[in-house]
């Protein structure tokens, strides 16, 4: 409706421009577009309006400065270069304090900061490093894959290799794209994905050791809770765990272990709402294996964890792996009983199989779409997504680091925001690119993706949409809404009273 009004205004402007106040007409169009975009209709209380003014002052101050000095404009830079600037900025300091609601797109193995893994897990006596064909894998055991002669104690290696500091930095480079090769900022998509997927392989066995798995997932919850996130939908494979006695834990036992970790975390942090699992398997498998995984999901979901293991997804680089059509038999068989949360359209292609995954995801009634990066190329599909209320899980930094886009001001989410296509902001794999939590993705969403004029209304909308498009039950939503409202009000009060701003901050 507002879109039509804008078009009518534009048409009549040409006809009557000599008779009307041109500036008023111009402003009316700008206002109408602003209201049409994400957050444009968000109701602001008097306090929120005050907070909005403060926030926009900081934002606009820097945007104005950047027009003189564009090469130091962090929102237009690659995150690896921009991070030190962002860390110093007042806008980021405010964004860190926002109660962010939920994170709905996160892969467990890549969710925890690499520094924590190195400084904690690799300092345990069980931690070992295995070298196979020039590639390194963290583990605690020897196996068929890592025979005795390929495995060394990390504590011993640390003693033998220079200073602990430089050795630890090298170790961390095995699971952090930023440290591994800074020129990955300019690598091809396939090259960066090779390095990225190697990091999952490098860390997987280490965090499959039950005591480490428990410490790792507790840390995951802690890092997000400290970043003001209260609920997570976690994509994980529930792959088998092992312990010191070589006991192996299957999917059901692993789900139970995760549920206990979440439960324990909630006991000490009562306003943390919880976490649920989207059972996710690599799309490199064949059709028969996919059917088996769908069957396992059906059992997990219906027999033991109906409100905990809530959905199914396929992961891995879409451009080089099999499209959803390959798995269609199984996906259609389980369609009525399975909530799908497909990665789809995470590609620069147009009309490629990866791009057309969007068609199948929507036809299979996906609840949300992971990325949906190429959706804007499909007018029928983005309109369907909008009318059906299928939220796109937009992960700005992931798309930049994995080379879909350099300057996030050119990210397709700019279009989704301008058209009010439902989105939630997420972080995908923050541990692998040094962006602990979700605040950096919020920063880019606010400074690079939303309009210059978007203020607290935009932030309010994406925070509350992260609850709206979650898989929480009505009762859980109610509880969450109460907690979030209290936190949001406190955030607005603090912003208005100037609590977040210190003298050493700069307007970035």
Residue 355 or residue 428: which is nearer to Zn ion going by CB?
428
Work out how close the CB of 393 gets to Zn ion at its nearest, in angstroms, rounded to a whole number: 8
Residue 233 binding Zn ion, by CB under 5 A = no
346 is catalytic: yes
Residue 428 binding Zn ion, by CB under 5 A = yes
User: In the bound complex, which residue of the shown chain has the CB atom lying closest to Zn ion?
Assistant: 428
Work out how close the CB of 426 gets to Zn ion at its nearest, in angstroms, rounded to a whole number: 8
Residue 205 or residue 346: which is nearer to Zn ion going by CB?
346
DSSP characters over 195-206:
HHHHHHHHHHTG
Token pair 């499909």: residue: 378
**Element (DSSP H or E) covering residue 249:** strand 248-249
Token pair 């962010």: residue: 100
Q: How many residues bind Zn ion (CB under 5 A)?
A: 1
Work out how close the CB of 105 gets to Zn ion at its nearest, in angstroms, rounded to a whole number: 6
First vs last C-alpha separation in the chain: 36
Residue 122 or residue 317: which is nearer to Zn ion going by CB?
317
List the strands of the sheet with 135-139, edge to edge.
135-139, 128-132, 151-153
Task: Tell me how far CA of residue 36 lies from CA of 5, 59, 64, 420, in angstroms.
Answer: 11, 21, 25, 7
Residue 59 or residue 105: which is nearer to Zn ion going by CB?
105
Work out how close the CB of 433 gets to Zn ion at its nearest, in angstroms, rounded to a whole number: 13
Residue 89 or residue 113: which is nearer to Zn ion going by CB?
113
Judged by CB under 5 A, the stretch of 108-116, 142-150, 376-384, 420-428 that binds Zn ion is 420-428
Distance of CA 67 to the CA centre of its chain: 30
Strand intervals (E) in 345-444: 368-371, 391-394, 423-425
Judged by CB under 5 A, the stretch of 145-153, 218-226, 421-429, 484-492 that binds Zn ion is 421-429
Rounded to 5 degrees, what angle do the CA atoms 340, 341, 343 make? 125
Work out how close the CB of 200 gets to Zn ion at its nearest, in angstroms, rounded to a whole number: 11
Given the residues 217, 371, 378, 411, select the one marked as catalytic: 371
Judged by CB under 5 A, the stretch of 75-83, 297-305, 428-436, 498-506 that binds Zn ion is 428-436
Q: Which two tokens stand for residue 8?
A: 């009518």
Handedness of CA 472, 317, 405, 204 (dihedral sign): positive
Work out how close the CB of 473 gets to Zn ion at its nearest, in angstroms, rounded to a whole number: 24
Residues in Cβ contact with 268 at an 8 Å cutoff, skipping those fewer than 6 apart: none
* Site track for Zn ion across 143-162, x = CB under 5 A: --------------------
Work out how close the CB of 174 gets to Zn ion at its nearest, in angstroms, rounded to a whole number: 21
Residue 193 or residue 252: which is nearer to Zn ion going by CB?
193
Given the residues 233, 346, 353, 393, select the one marked as catalytic: 346
Backbone φ/ψ region at 420: left (φ over 0), alpha (ψ -120 to 50), beta: left
User: What does the alpha-carbon distance between residue 485 and residue 14 come to, in Å, rounded to a whole number?
Assistant: 46
Residue 111 or residue 300: which is nearer to Zn ion going by CB?
111
Work out how close the CB of 369 gets to Zn ion at its nearest, in angstroms, rounded to a whole number: 11
Token pair 């990955």: residue: 184
User: What does the alpha-carbon distance between residue 448 and residue 442 come to, in Å, rounded to a whole number?
Assistant: 10
Residue 361 or residue 508: which is nearer to Zn ion going by CB?
361
Residue 393 binding Zn ion, by CB under 5 A = no
Judged by CB under 5 A, the stretch of 175-183, 426-434, 436-444, 466-474 that binds Zn ion is 426-434
CB–CB of 226/304 below 8 Å? Answer: no
Residue 172 binding Zn ion, by CB under 5 A = no
DSSP characters over 478-490:
HHHHHHHHHHHHH
DSSP characters over 2-49:
HHHHHHHHHHHHHHHTTTS-HHHHHHHHHHHHHHHSTTTT----HHHH
β-pairing, 231-236 with 102-107?
parallel
Site residues (CB under 5 A) for Zn ion?
428
Which residues have a catalytic role annotated? Answer: 346, 371
């Amino acid at each position: 409706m507002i879109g039509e009004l804008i078009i009518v205004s534009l048409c009549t402007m040409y006809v009557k421009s000599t008779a009307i106040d041109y500036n008023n007409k111009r402003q009316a169009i700008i206002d109408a577009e602003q209201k049409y975009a994400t957050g444009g209709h968000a109701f602001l209380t008097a306090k929120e309006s005050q907070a909005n003014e403060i926030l926009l002052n900081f934002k606009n101050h820097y945007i104005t400065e950047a027009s003189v000095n564009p090469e130091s404009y962090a929102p237009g830079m690659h995150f690896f270069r921009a991070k030190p600037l962002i860390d110093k900025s007042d806008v980021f300091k405010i964004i860190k304090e926002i109660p962010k609601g939920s994170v709905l797109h996160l892969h467990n193995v890549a969710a925890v900061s690499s520094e924590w893994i190195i400084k904690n897990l690799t300092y345990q006596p069980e931690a070992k490093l295995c070298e196979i064909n020039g590639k390194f894998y963290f583990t605690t055991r020897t196996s068929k894959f890592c025979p005795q002669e390929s495995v060394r104690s990390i504590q011993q290696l640390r003693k033998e290799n220079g200073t602990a500091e430089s050795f630890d930095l090298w170790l961390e480079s095995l699971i952090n794209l930023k440290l591994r090769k800074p020129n990955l900022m300019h690598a091809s998509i396939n090259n960066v994905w090779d390095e990225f997927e190697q990091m999952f392989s490098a860390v997987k066995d280490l965090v499959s050791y039950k005591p480490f798995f428990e410490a790792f997932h507790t840390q995951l919850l802690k890092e997000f809770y400290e970043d003001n996130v209260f609920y997570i939908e976690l994509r994980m494979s529930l792959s088998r765990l092992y312990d010191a006695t070589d006991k192996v834990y299957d999917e059901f036992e692993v789900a139970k272990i995760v549920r206990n970790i979440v439960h324990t975390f909630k006991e000490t942090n009562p306003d943390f709402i919880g976490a649920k699992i989207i059972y996710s398997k690599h799309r490199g498998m064949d059709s028969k294996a996919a059917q088996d995984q769908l069957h396992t999901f059906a059992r997990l979901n219906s027999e033991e964890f109906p409100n905990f293991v809530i959905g199914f997804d396929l992961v891995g680089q879409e451009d080089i792996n099999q499209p959803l059509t390959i798995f269609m038999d199984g996906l259609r068989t389980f369609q009525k009983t399975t909530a799908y949360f497909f990665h789809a359209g995470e590609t620069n292609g147009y009309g490629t199989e990866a791009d057309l995954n969007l068609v199948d995801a929507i036809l299979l009634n996906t609840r949300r779409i992971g990325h949906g990066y190429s959706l804007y190329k499909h007018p029928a599909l983005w309109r369907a997504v909008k009318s059906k209320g299928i939220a796109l899980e937009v992960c700005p930094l992931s798309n930049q680091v994995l080379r879909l886009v350099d300057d996030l001001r050119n990210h397709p989410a700019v279009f989704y925001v301008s058209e009010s296509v439902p989105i939630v902001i997420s972080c995908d794999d923050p541990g692998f690119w040094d962006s602990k939590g979700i605040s950096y993705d919020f920063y880019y969403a606010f400074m690079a993706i939303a309009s210059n004029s978007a203020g607290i209304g935009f932030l309010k909308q994406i925070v509350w949409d992260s609850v709206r498009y979650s898989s929480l039950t009505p009762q859980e939503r109610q509880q969450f809404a109460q907690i979030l409202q209290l936190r949001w009000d406190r955030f607005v009060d603090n912003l208005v009273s100037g609590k977040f701003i210190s003298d050493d901050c700069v307007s970035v």
